[in-house]
C-alpha cells in the first residue's frame, strides 16, 4: 500500500483573482488545502475498503468512525447553554416539589398530633364528668334509699299513732318534739335566760310558745312538772306599754295570769318584763319574771304534713 499513487486535484486561481489582498489569498489557500485533504482521505478510504481483509476490519471501523465524526453536525453553543438551563430548571422544580411534599407531610403530621392531643383531653374530660356523674348518681341512690326508709318509718309511725285523718294527711314532729293538733312543742332541759331561749327556738326553726287557746294551755300543763318553770313567748314592750307575744300580737281575752300578775310595777329592784309558766295553787299560770333569770323554755313550730 505504501507504493500506491496518491492523487490530488490542484486548482489554479485565475489571473484576475491574484490581485486580491493577502488575506483573501490566505483564506483561498486554506480552502483549497482542506478540499485536497478531504479528497485524499476519501480516496484512501475507498482503496482500503477494496483491499481490506478480515484482519483489517478494526482499522476500517476506526476510519468509518472518523468519517462519521466529520459528517456529524456540531451544535451551536447557545443551544447547549439552553439545554443546560432547562436541565437546571427541571432539577430546581423537582427540588421545590419535594420540599412542598415534605412540608405538607410535616404539616399534616403536626395537625394530626394536635387533633390527637385535643381528643385525649376531651376523653379525659369525659371520663372526669362520667366519674362525677357516677358519684352523684351513687349519692342520689343512697339518699333515695335513706328517704325511702325514713318514709316507711314515718308511715308506720302515722299508722301506729292513728294520726291519719280522713284526708290522708299525716302530721309529724322531729325527734324530741311533741305533737298537739297541728303544732309541735319542744321542752328543754337546760336553763337559759329569756333572750337566749328565744334565739335558741329560732335556730330550731320555731319560736317561744304562744298560747292561743285553753286546750293548748291544758296540753302544756300536762307536760310540765310542778317544780319546773318554762319561758314562753310573752314579754313587756315599752313602746306599746303592754305585754305582747313574739308575733307582736297583743294578749286576747284568753289569759292565764297567776294571782296578782303581772306585778312588775310593785317596785321590785329587777324589772320583770318576761313571762314564764310556773305552778301556783291554781295550777300552771303566767308569771312575769326578770329576763336575766335562767329557766327552761318551750319552743313551738308547725307540724310537718305528709300527704299519702
Query: Is 303 in contact with 179 (CB distance < 8 Å)?
Result: yes
Domain residue ranges of the chain, discontinuous segments joined by +: 15-71, 81-160, 169-307
Q: Reply yes or no on whether the pLDDT at 80 is more than 60.
A: yes
Nearest to 233, CA basis, from 206, 265, 266: 206
Average pLDDT over residues 184-191: 94
Q: Reply yes or no on whether the pLDDT at 25 is more than 80.
A: no
The domain defined by 169-307 folds into Mannose-Binding Protein A; Chain A (3.10.100)
Of the ranges 57-71, 76-90, 120-134, which is most confident? Answer: 120-134
Q: Reply yes or no on whether the pLDDT at 89 is more than 50.
A: yes
List the single range of 112-116, 147-151, 243-247 with lowest mean pLDDT.
147-151
List b or e across 150-178, with b for residues whose CB sees 16 or more CB atoms inside 10 angstroms: eeeeeeeebeeeeeeeeeeebbbbeeebe
Query: Is 263 in contact with 285 (CB distance < 8 Å)?
Result: no
Average pLDDT over residues 147-166: 69
In DSSP terms, 257 is beta-bridged to: 286
Q: Provide the 3-class DSSP secondary structure of residue 171.
A: strand
Amino acid 99: pLDDT: 93
Q: Reply yes or no on whether the pLDDT at 55 is more than 80.
A: no
pLDDT band at 38 (very low <50, low <70, confident <90, very high): low
List the single range of 165-179, 216-230, 231-245 with lowest mean pLDDT.
165-179
Amino acid 14: pLDDT: 47
Tell me the C-alpha distance between 301 and 174, whole Å.
10
- Whole-number Cα distances in Å, 52 to 55, 57, 62, 65, 143: 8, 7, 13, 16, 120
Q: pTM of the full predicted structure?
A: 0.51
Of the ranges 1-10, 11-20, 139-148, 278-287, which is most confident? Answer: 139-148
Nearest to 208, CA basis, from 303, 286, 302, 299: 299
Neighbour count for residue 23 (Cβ, 10 Å): 8
For the record, the C-alpha cell of 284 comes out as 300552771
Amino acid 237: pLDDT: 84
pLDDT band at 63 (very low <50, low <70, confident <90, very high): low
pLDDT band at 79 (very low <50, low <70, confident <90, very high): confident
Amino acid 167: pLDDT: 54
Amino acid 7: pLDDT: 46
Amino acid 78: pLDDT: 77
Q: Reply yes or no on whether the pLDDT at 207 is more than 90.
A: yes
User: In the chain, pLDDT over 90 holds for what percent of residues?
Assistant: 31
Amino acid at each position: 500500500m505504501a507504493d500506491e499513487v496518491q492523487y490530488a486535484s490542484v486548482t489554479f486561481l485565475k489571473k484576475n483573482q491574484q490581485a486580491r489582498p493577502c488575506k483573501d489569498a490566505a483564506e483561498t489557500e486554506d480552502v483549497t488545502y482542506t478540499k485536497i485533504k478531504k479528497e485524499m482521505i476519501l480516496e484512501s478510504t475507498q482503496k482500503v475498503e477494496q483491499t481490506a481483509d478480515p484482519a483489517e476490519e478494526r482499522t476500517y471501523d476506526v476510519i468509518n468512525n472518523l468519517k462519521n465524526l466529520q459528517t456529524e453536525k456540531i451544535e451551536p453553543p447557545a443551544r447547549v447553554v439552553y439545554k443546560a438551563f432547562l436541565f437546571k430548571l427541571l432539577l430546581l422544580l423537582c427540588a421545590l416539589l419535594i420540599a412542598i411534599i415534605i412540608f405538607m407531610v410535616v404539616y399534616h403530621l403536626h395537625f394530626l398530633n394536635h387533633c390527637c392531643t385535643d381528643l385525649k383531653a376531651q376523653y379525659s374530660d369525659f371520663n372526669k364528668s362520667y366519674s362525677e356523674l357516677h358519684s352523684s348518681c351513687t349519692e342520689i341512690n343512697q339518699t333515695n334509699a335513706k328517704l325511702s326508709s325514713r318514709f316507711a318509718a314515718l308511715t308506720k309511725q302515722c299508722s301506729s299513732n292513728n294520726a291519719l285523718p280522713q284526708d290522708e294527711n299525716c302530721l309529724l314532729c322531729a325527734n324530741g318534739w311533741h305533737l298537739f293538733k297541728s303544732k309541735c312543742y319542744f321542752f328543754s332541759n337546760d336553763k337559759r335566760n329569756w333572750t337566749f331561749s328565744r334565739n335558741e327556738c329560732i335556730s330550731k326553726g320555731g319560736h317561744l310558745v304562744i298560747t292561743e287557746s285553753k286546750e293548748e294551755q291544758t296540753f302544756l300543763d300536762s307536760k310540765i312538772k310542778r317544780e319546773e318553770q318554762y319561758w314562753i313567748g310573752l314579754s313587756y314592750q315599752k313602746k306599746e306599754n303592754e305585754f305582747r307575744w313574739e308575733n307582736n300580737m297583743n294578749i286576747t281575752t284568753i289569759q292565764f295570769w297567776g294571782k296578782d300578775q303581772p306585778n312588775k310595777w310593785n317596785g321590785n329592784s329587777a324589772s320583770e318584763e318576761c313571762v314564764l309558766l310556773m305552778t301556783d295553787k291554781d295550777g300552771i299560770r303566767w308569771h312575769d319574771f326578770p329576763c336575766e333569770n335562767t329557766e327552761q323554755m318551750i319552743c313551738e313550730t308547725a307540724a310537718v304534713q305528709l300527704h299519702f
